[in-house]
Structure 1
Amino acid sequence: MSVSWSKTFAAFTVAWLSALCLLPVETFCDTSYYEKYYAARRYVPLKRNAPLVFNFTLTLPDTDQLASFERPALVGNLPVLGAWQAGRAVLLNRTAILNVWSASVEIPQNSSVEYRYFAAAVGQSGAVQIRRWESHVHARTFNTTKFSGNRSDEFGLIGNERQLSRGWLQDSGNILQLKLFRDALSLEEQPEVGQEKLRLRLQPVDPKILAPILSSARANVEYVRMAYGDSTLRVQPEYGVPYATGDILMFHVNLEQLDRVAYLVEVYAEQPEEDLVRLLGYSHLLHTSFSGTEGEVSIDLISPLWQRVVGQLRIEYLHIRPMEKDGFDLRTSFANYWRSNWTALEIGHRGLGKSLTVTTNAAPLIENTVATMLASSELGADLVEFDVQLTSDLVPIIHHDFSIRVCIDSKTPTSKDDLTEVLLKDISYEQLKDLKTYQIVGNKIVEYPAHNNVEPPEQRLFPTLQDFFERVNLSTGFDIEIKWPQQRADGQFESEQTLDKNLFVDRILAVVRRYGCGRLNVIKSFDADLCSLLRFKQHMYPVLFLSSSKENVFTDPRTSTVEQSVNFAQAFDLGGVSPNAVFVKADPGVVQRAKAQVPIVLLWGSDLKDRESIDWFLQQGPTGVIYDRLDLWLGANRTSAFEAEQDLPGFFQLQCVPATKEREVNSTIESILSNVNFL
């Protein structure tokens, strides 16, 4: 009985405890964690929207076919499209249809897309060269939503405008220009007059085994033989290029790396009537011959039959490298943008005009200062022209002469012998600003106080290029002349310059890129090689080739005549030329003949001396004229051409690199997320 009672008691106890557990119990739960979690989810979805697949199809027109080593590439503003960098662009693939290429790209939803195409050459290292590109100001655009799509385009055609331009060195590659000028070739055996013609051939070869290199990103050779109206870069024929004494012949070689290519130079004699050629001599040219940016090399030509020297060939060279850093991207270009009504422009020479060295009719403000540029802008000048050089610490400054005169002794100079000439390239900018300088004007010595001692700052000598960009109204265009001493016909140089020309141009372009956007800029120089550097290091602004007031004044034959300057500008896709007005005065047809070959023609010179002469030269149809004493000859109440148009100068803001957009921060969301531990 005791056992039965024990079992009954145990069962009763279990039942009582179970019933007790079913009674409502007050509980305490901290819900703040969950409230924060679900509140955050309302703003931050846990699952991102999937990207959209867009198919891009590109058709190549019959007029612009690709070389065997080229392929189309797609580049745009989004990271998946390369962010305007050629090295990160999307390469297109061939389709089964002739001249049609395609690529598929995953693009984020709700994106604003800008893009364009270019012809790319991809090297063995993966570096991408820009061979030709769609250089329109505006790229193609579209917006994505939540659906995939297709884009079909024709290479070079954006909107209704067809435009393809030669590429430049964005961040990789090299260009080697080999120049044969005047009597570059001498032979023991001259070809028979009237029966044989000479031909020159440049063949890239491997520097180790001397085997020929096929046209590729590693090395591709083009040439130009200057001829008026027909100066364009071409692929050289199988047995080279026709050559005669006095020709201006240039080879233009695109390279992946300079030290991975050597060259076989061959000279042939052609018998046109028999359609025969025979090899007269050859030589190999190694990359070690090209030390520095520019120079000259002479090679002996070896007879393939007699294995002895039968001639010599003198070659000048220019090695073009990409900008050191922060180069120009593929976002836009103003190098070929010139409105039809931008003509008959009036440009102030060094601002209001020359003042430092002239004995009569000097401008009222000191030339090449901020003050004279501001005054020119107030008068309504379309552009102002000024001169840019580098100091020893590579600061781009504004000054015309290559040197300054200083007095070493503390006494006041009384004659020219008391003054010492100092080259700007040999003095730092900080030193320059502390120097009192002197000019010899006629028989007088004129003193100019040191830069740091002049007030107001606008009247100081030696302003920087950055000062001009920051201080002068954006509605005033800039005609920027880059100074470099030329070799005269007698063999003497205008001045000494020891700075590397690639470095020289890089430092100036870096300032132009950072501070110069937002206005019309043209860049020019008397130095043809410097123009090549300016052209193939950037694509944003047009480059103009200046020519002297006299023919054959310099040794470089590209500067010998206006016609030769036009040939050079046409060959290398420059924006135009700037000849001296004296040649137009002698032959007014020069302007129209030049404009038939190049877009921009700016006249300069002392013949533009009063309103009557200025108007006469404008009637000849140049793009613009550059003259002194703007304060006397510019019409009253004049408005700059770039201020008169409603969209200017704002339209030029497209040149500027867009500011990086920072992510918008919502303080409420950030506060919630800071207290949430996501599992």
Structure 2
Amino acid sequence: MSQVADNSCLKQSIYTIDGMGEGKQDWKFCVRVDTLLQESVLVVGSCPDLGNWNSAGAVELTSEGEGTWSGVISIPRDCNVMFRYFVGIVFKPDEEKFTSRQVIVRRWETNLNPRIIHKGVVSNNQQVMEPDIFGLYDSCKMTDRGWLTTETVVQFKLFENPIQFWKHKYEGRKVHIKLTPLMLSKGRTLVEYTPTSDIFEESMDTQDVGEERDKWPITEIAVMNENEWEFQLQEQFGRAYNPNDCIIFSVSMHFPEAVAYMMDYYMYSSSSVENSPPYHIGFSYILPSMMSSSEGQAIVPITSRSHRPIGQLKFDYLVVHPISGYECDMSVSYSRIWKKTWQGLDVGHRGLGTSFKLEVAECADVRENTIASLKNAASAGADLVEFDIQLSKDLIPVLYHDFHVCIALKHKKQLAEHDMLELPVKELTLEQLQHLKVYHLAEGKNKSQRFFDEDLEEHQPFPTLHRALDSVDPHVGFNIEIKWTMQLKDGTYELNHPFDLNMYLDTILKVVLHSAGSRKIIFSCFHPDICTMLRLKQNKYPVIFLTQGVTKKYPAYRDPRTQTMSMAVNYAISAGILGINAHTEDILRDTTQVKMVMDAGLIIFCWGDDNNNPATIKHLKQLGIHGVIYDKIDKYSSKEVKESIFLVEAREMQNQLLKAAEELEDASQSPLPSISLPPTSEFELDDLENTQKRLSATSVLSS
């Protein structure tokens, strides 16, 4: 697992960007990396010869043995060429399955700045050089798992005593489980699967484990504990299921509609000797038709070797597809980048704060989740603003916290008991939400209108996500919380959601990926599966897991990953996300948990009503919390200068660039063109073009 970057990793280079010339030279790329049998090593970069950062156009290197891969590629010689190595699986075009080359990104170099071959450097093709080390350069090593390019990931989650046997002889005995995908099709034509004869033998999985490493689909397993959180290939006879385990099987594949799954069950005989294999007691089949939606739950029978039902398996599933209509490139990733200076950040809750609490004195003076609220928080010095996103009926991402609203049946000055109709936000179009007389649930319950701002456009509820990205100061970061119904521990749901989860997230992600520019973005959600999907669907923005942990204030969720901070940590490092956003009630109960999170290489934010106190905010920052989310930031913030940290850093970087330009001007005694303000994100290399065109040599500045 790659770790959170420190300042030594965050070095900004100023690169010369000239027109792409016709001159070419051969360049030898050579890297050392451990791979599995079916994996290849590829190189991708900033020129057409290296795929223009598109993984599908990357160049496959040749194995030289002992973990070394190399290849000679013709690249431009009259401009800087940037590149990265990655480990992937390459599928060549064929008539039955793929009409074009498919490349799966398994692991890739995620150092903030890519590797670079400088303009004018002579070809290394005739030199004897040490291989590069995968992920290691600029005094920092960072690699990460890939994201979904063309493949689909299906996950099966087992928890809450999911395996039940009806035969007495199996009660109280430890069972080992193993999941195997079954290709039901040849090409795209479904054919019947016929079990092999050894299904009836003592063990149906006696082949060497290594034989499975060269197969696609790929099946991996992780257990949400301190030792087994990392996804690994399965053992020959699977993994023992223990009480209170939370096990996740993850299968990567193409054509999920043509893949079924077999769960095998093994037990060791009480009379077995050392190194003897377990015996196979039965199996379950999971058909693709059982997973008609992106998420759900199902129960399948456990069948004995003689095809008699002996028990049942209860599981939750998740199907994750790539983003529809958008391709991520490999030029840069911020998903695991966090500077050491980004600590104790002030995060405006729903903008300037919650505005519908029972005690009016505790409410923000501006309606929450509005453009006005976000702008006021920015003016008060918020480093980031947190807000909630959900979809309207016509699939427009809008800012709103609650799943329901109240609508007045008649326009009255005084609201009576039956004058309000409660409706889910999902049942109203954007036009209806923005033009009907809509009240917050608290206003409906109290029969008292809280705000009278119909004539103020920026104070209106339900602004679109696109407008928020376009309207708020780009130096202010966004913490975007994805709203989605959760299942409570008693089995009930917060809302019956009609949207397909893949479509829901794709709609939100495409708005951000197209419109966020250089703004700092963090995604968050209480639903761990959504955090998993946000991580797998895109490679650019970080994700943090919102968790209640141990609480007396809210009902517990069913998913065990949500119930304690230790489980949240195990899940976060397993999913490869940036960190967690913990409930302050749980932190104050046991402050040592903050160190536990940071020792795991994760960042930690916190949320909750406990934060709405200057003394508590100060205490949380002293504990090392990276971001404190609180209300009324205009009143509770202790900042002397009301500016976001990202604006301060952008100004410092501008001064560094000006100083570097002046030094070059003095050295060359020639005038330089004016230098424009660099972008809010000092990591966006392409946006430095005004400065880069003049600086012919590479100058490395500490960011």
State the TM bucket, normalised to the shorter chain. 0.7 to 0.9
Distance in 1 (CA, whole Å) between partners of 2:322 and 2:407 is 37
Give 2:174's match in structure 1, choosing from 197, 202, 208. 197
Q: In 2, distance between residues paired with 1:651 and 1:461?
A: 28
Percent identity reads 30
Preserved CA contact (<8 Å) 2:581 2:604: yes
How much does 1:300 deviate? 1.1
Secondary structure of 2:43 counterpart: strand
What SS is found at the alignment partner of 1:301?
strand
Q: Shift of residue 58 of structure 1? A: 1.5
Distance 2:632 2:121 in 1: 62
Q: Match of 1:18?
A: none
Q: Give the C-alpha shift of residue 653 in structure 1.
A: 5.8
Which of 124, 127, 138 pairs up with 1:149? 124
**Quick check: 1:347–1:627 contact (8 Å CA) kept in 2?**
yes
Structure 1 residue aligned with 2:458: 458
1:357 Cα shift?
Answer: 4.2
1:178-215 CA distance string (max 9 Å, x none): 11121211012467788x52111011222243579944
Give matches, 1:496-535, under 5 Å. 496-535=496-535
Relative distance call for 1:435 and 1:273 in structure 2 (3 A) is farther
Match in the other structure for 2:16: none
> CA separation of 1:409/1:80 partners in 2, compared to 1, >3 Å: closer, same or farther?
same
Q: Which has the larger radius of gyration?
A: 1
Contact 1:387/1:481 (<8 A) preserved: yes
| Partner of residue 265, structure 2 | 267
| Equivalent residue letter for 2:222 | V
Match of 2:418, SS state, is helix
SS in 2 for 1:376: helix
8 A contact 1:517–1:655 mirrored in 2: no
Change (3 A) 1:77 1:576: same
2:75 aligns with: 107
| Contact 1:437–1:447 under 8 Å retained in 2 | no
- Seen in structure 2, the aligned counterparts of structure 1 residues 422 and 659 have a Cα distance that, compared at 3 Å, is farther
Letter in 1 for 2:312: Q
Which amino acid counterpart does residue 585 of structure 2 have in structure 1? Answer: V
How far apart in 1 are the matches of 2:429 and 2:682?
A: 33
- Give the match for residue 183 of structure 2: 206
Match of 1:162 among 127, 130, 141: 141
1:56 to 29, 39, 59: 29
Q: Contact 1:226–1:248 (CA<8 Å) still a contact in 2?
A: yes
Relative to structure 1, the CA distance from residue 217 to residue 469 in structure 2 (aligned partners, 3 Å threshold; closer, same or farther) is: farther
Give the 3 Å change call, closer, same or farther, for CA 216–88 of structure 1 in structure 2: farther
Query: Tell me, what secondary structure is at the counterpart of 2:610?
Result: coil
Contact kept, 8 Å, 1:388 with 1:400, in 2: the verdict is yes
Q: Secondary structure at the match of 1:445?
A: coil
Secondary structure of the residue that 2:346 maps to in structure 1? Answer: strand
Distance in 2 (alpha carbons) for counterparts of 1:263 and 1:190: 27
SS at match of 1:355: coil
Change in 2 beyond 3 A, CA 1:469/1:190: farther
Q: Deviation string for 1:484-526 (max 9, x for gaps)?
A: 0111222221122111110111111111111113122111001
Query: How far off is 1:397 after superposition?
Result: 0.8
Match of 2:35 in 1: 66
Matched with 1:9 is none
How big is each residue's C-alpha offset from its partner over 1:390-447, in whole Å with a ceiling of 9 and x where there is no partner? 1112111111111211023344562342211222212211222111112334733216
1:34 matched residue in structure 2: none
Write the letter of the residue equivalent to 1:584: I
Q: Is 1:561–2:561 an aligned residue pair?
A: no
Structure 1 residue identity aligned to 2:638: G
* Aligned: 1:136 with 2:114: no
Deviations 1:208-256 (A, max 9, x none): 4357994457300111111136421111100001102321010011112
User: Cα gap change, 1:303/1:329 in structure 2, threshold over 3 Å: closer, same or farther?
Assistant: same
Provide the C-alpha distance between the structure 1 equivalents of 2:432 and 2:335, rounded to a whole number of angstroms: 36
Partner of 2:673: none
Distance 1:210-1:477 versus aligned 2 partners, 3 A rule: farther
Q: Counterpart in 1 of 2:217?
A: 219
Q: What's the counterpart of residue 472 of structure 2? A: 472
Tell me the distance in 1 between the aligned counterparts of 2:524 and 2:215.
30
546-555 or 625-634, which deviates more: 546-555
SS at match of 1:381: coil
Q: Could you say what secondary structure the match of 2:82 adopts?
A: strand
> For 2:437 and 2:250, how far apart are their aligned partners in 1?
46
Name the CA distance, whole Å, in 2 between partners of 1:562 and 1:146: 51
Using the TM superposition, give the Cα deviation of residue 380 of structure 1 relative to its aligned residue in structure 2, in angstroms: 1.3
Match of 1:459, as an amino acid? H
Deviation at 1:330, TM superposition (A): 0.7
- Describe the SS at the equivalent of 2:337: coil
1:135-186 deviation per Cα after TM superposition (whole angstroms, max 9, x unaligned): 111111123449643485221113221111011013x010001111212110
Identify the match of residue 177 of structure 1 among 128, 149, 155.
155
Which one is further off, 435-444 or 220-229? Answer: 435-444
C-alpha RMSD of the superposition: 2.6
Given candidates 646, 652, 655, the residue that maps to 2:681 is: 652
2:576 alignment counterpart: 573
| Structural mapping, 1:279-294, within 5 Å | 279-294=280-295
Cα distance in 2 for partners of 1:102, 1:381 equals: 48
Q: 1:497 to 1:413 in 2, by over 3 A?
A: farther
Q: C-alpha offsets along residues 337-356 of structure 1, whole Å, 9 cap, x if unaligned?
A: 11112111121111121113
Tell me how many residue pairs correspond in the alignment. 604
1:486–1:421 Cα change, 3 Å = same
For residues 583 and 98 of structure 1, the distance between their equivalents in structure 2, rounded to whole angstroms, comes to 49
Instruction: Give the Cα separation in 1 of the matches to 2:625 and 2:159.
Output: 30
2:266/2:282 contact within 8 Å kept: yes
- What amino acid is the match of 1:458? E
Mapped contact 1:436–1:447 kept (Cα < 8 A): no
Q: Is the 8 A contact 1:436 1:449 kept in 2?
A: no
Q: Give the Cα separation in 1 of the matches to 2:406 and 2:124.
A: 68
Secondary structure in 1 aligned to 2:571?
helix
CA distance in 1, matches of 2:53, 2:458: 38
Which residue number in structure 2 is paired with residue 84 of structure 1? 53
CA–CA separation in structure 2 for the residues paired with 1:620 and 1:111:
47
Q: Which amino acid aligns with 2:58?
A: A
**Secondary structure at the residue paired with 1:613?**
helix
Q: Structure 1: how far apart are the matches of 2:639 and 2:248? A: 48
Cα distance in structure 2, aligned partners of 1:564 and 1:417: 45
When residues 415 and 333 of structure 1 are mapped into structure 2, their CA distance, relative to the original with a 3 A threshold, is: same
Shift in alpha-carbon separation, 1:444–1:476, aligned structure 2, 3 A:
same
How far apart in 2 are the matches of 1:288 and 1:214? 26
Contact (CA 8 Å) 2:549, 2:565: kept in 1 or not?
no
**Which of 580, 585, 595 is matched with 1:582 structurally?**
585
| Aligned 8 A contact 2:367 2:451 in 1 | no
> Which letter maps to 1:132?
R
- Aligned letter for 1:71? S
In 1, distance between residues paired with 2:54 and 2:168? 51
Distance 1:201 1:559 in 2: 25
